[in-house]
Amino acid sequence: MPITVGNDTSKTRKTLKVGTQSVDYYSIPAAEAAGLGDFSKLPAALKVVLENMLRFEDGKTVSVDDIKAFSTWAEQGGKNPIEIAYRPARVLMQDFTGVPAVVDLAAMRDGIKALGGDPQKINPLNPVDLVIDHSVMIDEFGNPRAFQMNVDREYERNMERYTFLKWGQNAFNNFRVVPPGTGICHQVNLEYLSQTVWTDVDQDGVEVAYPDTLVGTDSHTTMVNGAAVLGWGVGGIEAEAAMLGQPISMLIPEVVGFELTGRMVEGTTGTDLVLKVVEMLRAKGVVNKFVEFYGSGLDHLPLADRATIANMAPEYGATCGFFPIDGETLRYLRNTGRSEERIALVEAYAKENGFWRGADYAPVYTDTLSLDMGTIVPAISGPKRPQDYIALDKAAPAFAKFIEGLRSAKDASAKEEVRWEGEGGAPEPRDIPGDIGHHAKGWYKTDDGAYQLHDGSIVIASITSCTNTSNPYVMIGAGLVARKAREKGLTRKPWVKTSLAPGSQVVSHYLEAAGLQKDLDAIGFNLVGYGCTTCIGNSGPLEAPISKAINDYDLVATSVLSGNRNFEGRISPDVRANYLASPPLVVAYALVGDMNVDITTEPLGTDQDGNPVYLRDIWPTQKEIADLVESTVTREAFQSKYADVFKGDEKWQGVSVPQQETYDWPATSTYVQNPPYFQGMTMDTHPITDIEGAKVLAVLGDMITTDHISPAGSFKETTPAGKYLVERQVPVREFNSYGSRRGNHEVMMRGTFANIRIRNEMLDGIEGGYTKGPDGQQTSIYDAAMAHQEQGTPLVIFGGEQYGAGSSRDWAAKGTALLGVKAVIAESFERIHRSNLVGMGVIPFEFTGGDTRKTLGLTGDETVSIKGLEGVKPLQEVPAEITMGDGTVKTITLKCRIDTAVEIEYIENGGVLHYVLRNLAKAA
């Protein structure tokens, strides 16, 4: 489908000839010559947005004043937060977030039909790629059959979802599906889908070149900014609106410049660098801001490392972390199989239109900070947040301190010895290193013998996630650590569940070509699948005796993974401390099996002759790694592995689907159900009104993530979601995960605020999704919400700082709305979740004047009324009356975080999708 560009092409539209190619483009220098402003000092990231304004300027949604505002931004030192309408070129999805998005599109077809419109109006106008990567679970590991068995199990669990997605691929235009077993969406995007400069024909049939841009339904869509492709995560709700032609309403962002100097030193990795960057930017505060990396250090930073840094933008809180186009960008495009014509176009376009990072690149930034890469040391982050940076030589004492804090309130009886109940007794238990105060011994027995677990035992070591498996330097490094360990006779500890889940098949190709996969296999890091696995919570179950030992003795088991997320309750229900690390360090920790060991000074084990083996003995040099990367990571490998990226295996090809424009919702399905959002909908909208007499559903603390609000992992039969499935005769082993059931609102409503580690401050010392019901008794949040709905009582949530951090999980907002929550009141919001709440008709409010849930002394027994909402304006302050449990009334001022004028309309329509649906029905 041709792109539709703006009307005025006389001033800024030019023609660029590159070899035999001739394309039109929208010229920033021409805009300057036309008197629209001085854009020469804009950061490259913001020039991408400016080009978007030039291309879509029509005097309505995008005006000349919008374009001039970018010049004012530079004049005002990097600040001019006016509202603009931005249109990304394409949309990227994965299956956890993609399934509910396609469910919504299918429901919208039913909805527009009921309103008298044409179902074919519900079609993506922009290209949409959905990569199935979140569904594979690590049931089998540590053996050669692991990959095939996990894939087979994946299809058994998810056939309903895959049938539905394949129907969507056939039913909707501009919608492609990358089948299971191919790779992780962000790595496929980086290595294949992205072009850095995109081309398409306009409404007049003329080919136009423009920056490659996208939004994605996964927060780590930002990874592709490492290749100068501007992209970030949005909720599925916002992505659906974008694919249906609705511009993304946003404020011109501030851009923080992050200067990198020097170069990495021996013994460090790109992962060590990004963990430091995350710590620095979290401390700086970059929520809702772009970060652009610049400086002489980029001359020595491979694109793989840039992508690692860009990937973790959600962890440092930024909208994106952008790297401008330079020679390294071209090298990467060439090495990953892009055509020479495309590479020539990228270079010519970037230089012609002011996107190129040359020696004289010196834009204006809102603010800056700097890091000498020569100061980077090996590091990990944890045990609960990505920004909890720990230098590797401080990791063991930091863990000891963490345990001490956890155990300080525990009864001294926890120190009792636990007798071994197996035959023949067991070895004498050793004390925990450092004598950190908890000596309950978690014995378990296997065919190989008896073993003891304790606080700090590493039970999961996983090389996983797009963040690091996209980087051949750290993957080759991990393989070399495995090789050297194998040569010295070391292997994983028997209680460690090891796994290797690359982000693309190219990784397997170069590991095999280098002979390193055999070494990884030998110590337990066999291929388990191509997908997110442990990083998204699909760790699979631990062996039953290990799980029992952990839970019987209340042990703090740990995981070490090469992922980007280590929030509470995410990785495994049996694991309470989770650490992010480079793939080589994941291998090293699997060998030692214990977070209490200082692997920088203590031996990892002993060799065949009984000699101690230290980390330094098996750590590869940068030259060893670089030589193997040069010889095995080839252009031909990328071209070969991506030749049939949409074809899939025989299982995918065998999925048969009906050919029909609307979906025939199966009544008995527990995976896909028609959601209630559009049922009974009319063309009428409703003005925003005051919230009166609302009860409190939960009082939550700081850094409540979307994992806390809408968990992705497994759940038990005793939970509301589990009970729902049991009532429908679904056996527990077929529960799958919350993430896989996001196409069923009944499961997801019951899973909202159901994270096993969430703490509702209305209750004392209780973890999990509980609250007080209307009768004041403790009950599940879901049951309490349904009881309040029966009584017609609106609900509010209170929170602390950074409410909604983490994944771009639309169900965190959808579930909140379906529970009957009308407002969320917090100290601050993360960008994506705030937008998602508005997109679902829930109003976010921020405390002002120093008020917080703590200063107000909230207990959850209050009644809340929020006034002044009739005719409310963006970012307006409004009064709220809080009637305390004793009857006294406190009046405070809240800032309404409906940020833009169009968001007012979203709320009046009941949500962004209702807004789009009504507009499409009117146009029918």
Each residue of 163-196: pLDDT tens digit? 999 999 999 999 999 999 899 999 999 999 999 9
pLDDT confidence tier of residue 223, bands split at 50, 70 and 90: very high
Q: Please give the residue that has the higher pLDDT: either 681 or 2.
A: 681
Which H or E run contains 466?
helix 466-469
Predicted local distance difference test score (pLDDT) of residue 536? 75
Task: Spell out where 740-897 has E strands.
Answer: 770-772, 778-780, 795-798, 821-826, 843-847, 863-866, 877-883, 889-896
Residue 881, pLDDT above cutoff 60: yes
Instruction: Look at residue 870 and tell me whether its pLDDT is greater than 80.
Output: yes
For residue 537, name the pLDDT band (cuts at 50, 70, 90): confident
Average pLDDT over residues 800-812: 87
Q: Which helix (H) or strand (E) holds 696?
A: strand 691-699
Quote the DSSP letter at residue 457.
B
Report pLDDT for 440.
43
In the chain, % of residues over pLDDT 70: 95
pLDDT band at 439 (very low <50, low <70, confident <90, very high): very low
pLDDT: which is higher, 6 or 140: 140
CA angle 20, 25, 27 (to 5 degrees): 125
Compute the mean pLDDT over every residue in the chain, rounded to the nearest whole number: 91
Helix (H) / strand (E) containing 885: none
358 versus 418: the higher-pLDDT residue is: 358
As a whole number, mean pLDDT of residues 747-752 equals 97
**What's the pLDDT score for residue 236?**
80
Predicted confidence at residue 158, as pLDDT, reads: 87
Q: Which residues contact 359 (CB under 8 A, 6 or more apart)?
A: none
Model pLDDT, residue 573: 87
Fold of 691-707+760-923: Aconitase; domain 4 (3.20.19)
pLDDT of residue 809: 82
User: Pairing relation of β-strands 575-580 and 691-699?
Assistant: unpaired
Which CATH number is 90-375's, of 3.40.47.10, 1.25.40.10, 2.60.120.680, 3.30.499.10? 3.30.499.10
pLDDT on residue 249: 85
**Which residue has better confidence, 424 or 26?**
26
Question: How many angstroms separate the CA atoms of 750 and 767, rounded?
Answer: 16
pLDDT (0 to 100) of residue 441: 62
Ranges in the chain annotated CATH 3.30.499.10: 90-375, 395-637
Strand-pairing partners, residue 504, are 183
What is the Cα–Cα distance from 281 to 276, expressed in whole angstroms?
A: 9
pLDDT of residue 8: 55
* The pLDDT value given to residue 421: 34
Quick check: 419 pLDDT over 50?
no
Tell which residue, 516, 514, 502, has the closest CA to residue 628. Answer: 514
Residue 415: the pLDDT is: 39
What would the DSSP string read from start to end of 173-209? TTEEEEPTTSB-HHHHIIIII--SEEEEEBTTS-EEE
In whole angstroms, what is the distance from residue 440 CA to residue 158 CA? 40
pLDDT computed for residue 431 by the predictor:
39
d(CA 626, CA 191): 19
In angstroms and rounded to an integer, the radius of gyration of the C-alpha atoms of the chain is 27
Q: For residue 261, how many other CB atoms are within 10 A of its CB? A: 16
According to the model, what pLDDT value does residue 6 have?
A: 63
pLDDT tens column, 493-512:
999 999 999 999 999 999 99
Q: Decide if pLDDT at 148 tops 70.
A: yes
Q: Are 826 and 709 in contact (CB under 8 A)?
A: no
Q: How confident is the model at residue 3 (pLDDT cuts 50, 70, 90)?
A: low
Structural element, H or E, at residue 13:
strand 13-18
Is 70 exceeded by the pLDDT of residue 833? yes
Highest mean pLDDT among 152-156, 248-252, 372-376, 649-653 belongs to 372-376
- Edge-to-edge strand order for the sheet containing 207-211? 13-18, 21-26, 207-211, 197-201
- Every domain of the chain with CATH number 3.20.19.10 lies at 691-707+760-923
Return the DSSP state at 632: H
pLDDT bracket for residue 409 (50, 70, 90): very low
Name which residue leads in pLDDT, 419 or 741: 741
Mean pLDDT to the nearest integer, 150-163:
90
pLDDT digits (tens, 9 = 90+) for 310-319: 999 999 999 9
Q: Output the pLDDT for position 422.
A: 33
Both tokens of 769, joined, read: 């999704």
Tell me the per-residue pLDDT of 583-631, one tens digit each, with 9 for 90 and over.
Answer: 999 999 999 999 999 999 999 999 999 999 999 999 999 999 999 999 9
How large is the average pLDDT for residues 524-534? 90
CB atoms within 10 A of CB 825: 26
Distance of CA 409 to the CA centre of its chain: 34
Q: What is the pLDDT of residues 265-314, one digit of tens each?
A: 999 999 999 999 999 999 999 989 999 999 999 999 999 999 999 999 99
Does 383 sit behind a cis peptide bond, omega within 30 degrees of 0 on the bond before it? yes
The fold adopted by the segment(s) 395-637 is Aconitase; domain 3 (3.30.499)
Band the pLDDT of 856: cuts 50, 70, 90: very high
E-strand ranges in 276-381 read: 290-294, 320-322, 367-372, 379-381
Write the DSSP assignment of 211-267 as a string of letters. Answer: E-EEEESSGGGGGGGGGT-EEEE--HHHHHHHHTTPPEEEEPPPEEEEEEES-PPTT
Q: What is the Cβ-side half-sphere exposure of residue 43, based on CA atoms within 13 angstroms? A: 32
SS3 letters for 562-621? CCCCCCCCCCCCCEEEEEECCHHHHHHHHHHCECCCCCCCCCCEECCCCCEECHHHHCCC
The whole-model pTM stands at 0.85
pLDDT band at 779 (very low <50, low <70, confident <90, very high): very high
